[in-house]
Amino acid sequence: MYEIFVKTHFSSAHYLRDYPGKCEFLHGHNWEVEAGVRVEKLDSLGMGIDFRDLKSAVAVIMKELDHRNLNEHPAFQDVNPSSEHIAAYVYRRLGEELKDFSGVSPAFVTVYETPGSGVRYFGE
């Protein structure tokens, strides 16, 4: 079993509805994201998935989140765009983007809100 991951980032704003503090106000972050997949077998080149393919899949998702108010994104209409919900969203979307890659499934998504604070989501 292998976990293959890429690291990327996006910049966006958000606010946390009903939060009892400063985060209830619109503010921004430069979010760091690690997205990992799990593979059991390697191909004839010795790879589980080409990094290029994984980076492309993750880039599609980052483009959806980059430079916007996350509270206006359809995925966050009914839930706060917290680090936890962002990580779960990226994880689900990663599964959708990789559906044509046999034997490749999301393993985890880590979202860093700040350099020292983050969330890792492993799925349900």
Catalytic residues: 23, 67, 113
DSSP labels, 79-116: S---HHHHHHHHHHHHHHHTTTSTTEEEEEEEEEEETT
The percent of the chain in helix, strand and coil, each rounded to the nearest 5, is: 30, 35, 35
